[in-house]
Amino acid sequence: MRVIVTQSAERDLEEASDFCERLETGAGAYFLEKMVEEIDALADTGGVHRKVWGYHKVAAVRFPFLIFYLVRDDTVLGRTIVDGRRSPLSNLKTVTQRKQNDAPL
């Protein structure tokens, strides 16, 4: 399958990377590298994860982040990436407030 991410998911990654970088020099780049690997892996595993709030949800392996995505035909569309340590209600609000027509990159 082909994997694409929306602009808002890209912003989620950038914000999380910036946060990691503020904690430790180089951590932001490492975060991005590992999260891109996780997202790219959806080309093989997209659609097998359980659905939550209408989206497939997968937990990242190295960081406490959740990736919410849709599968349409042969495409995985990464919609939202949130910190899994946040309250489920906060994550629900973030996931459901995203525009259905958020443009893919």
**Averaged pLDDT, 27-36:** 96
Q: What is the DSSP letter of 87?
A: -
Mean pLDDT (the chain) is 91
Is 70 exceeded by the pLDDT of residue 100?
Answer: no
Give the pLDDT of residue 101: 52
The whole-angstrom separation of Cα 38 and Cα 62 is 9
- E-strand stretches of 12-64: 51-52, 55-59
Token pair of 17, please? 């990377």
Per-residue pLDDT reduced to its tens digit, 2-13: 999 999 999 999
Largest CA distance in the chain: 40
Tell me the per-residue pLDDT of 54-79, one tens digit each, with 9 for 90 and over. Answer: 899 999 999 999 999 999 999 999 99
Ordered domains of the chain (ranges, CATH):
2-97 (3.30.2310.20)
At residue 96 the predicted structure's pLDDT band, cuts being 50, 70 and 90, is confident
